[in-house]
């Protein structure tokens, strides 16, 4: 596996993490559900499944990348994707400070990847 493919796996893992989080948010819409109903909820099962795929992709990427760089990239890119997708799907609003923070995170990601 090349380093480029490993970075692609990290990005795919971040996308899977984002999908999983969005599905878990959707599962949480059923406020009155008991724990068993939540566990059997389609959105909950889907969210956990996407998390599992996330872990598998990330472990494969770690065979080529240092964890000290790969994990911050995974976490930050997942954070950025989730924030943007939560705005799109759930109409969550962001303040100017939050947009500045996301820009700084993006700059940090760029520096992390360039440092490898």
Query: What confidence tens digit (pLDDT) does each residue in 1-43 have?
Result: 899 999 999 999 999 999 999 999 999 887 777 888 888 899 9
- CA dist list (Å): 25 to 19, 22, 85, 96: 10, 5, 12, 24
pTM: 0.85
Rounded Cα distance, 12 and 78, in Å: 10
Q: Given this model, what pLDDT does residue 113 score?
A: 77
**Per-residue pLDDT tens for 92-115?**
998 999 999 989 988 988 887 777
């Amino acid at each position: 596996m090349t380093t480029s493919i490993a970075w692609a796996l990290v990005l795919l893992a971040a996308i899977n993490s984002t999908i999983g989080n969005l599905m878990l948010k959707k599962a949480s819409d059923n406020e009155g559900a008991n724990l068993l109903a939540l566990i059997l909820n389609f959105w909950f099962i889907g969210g956990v499944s996407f998390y599992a795929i996330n872990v598998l992709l990330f472990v494969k990427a770690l065979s080529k990348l240092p964890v000290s760089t790969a994990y911050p990239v995974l976490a930050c890119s997942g954070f950025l994707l989730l924030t943007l997708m939560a705005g799109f799907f759930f109409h969550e609003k962001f303040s100017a400070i939050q947009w500045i923070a996301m820009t700084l995170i993006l700059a940090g990601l760029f520096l992390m990847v360039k440092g490898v």
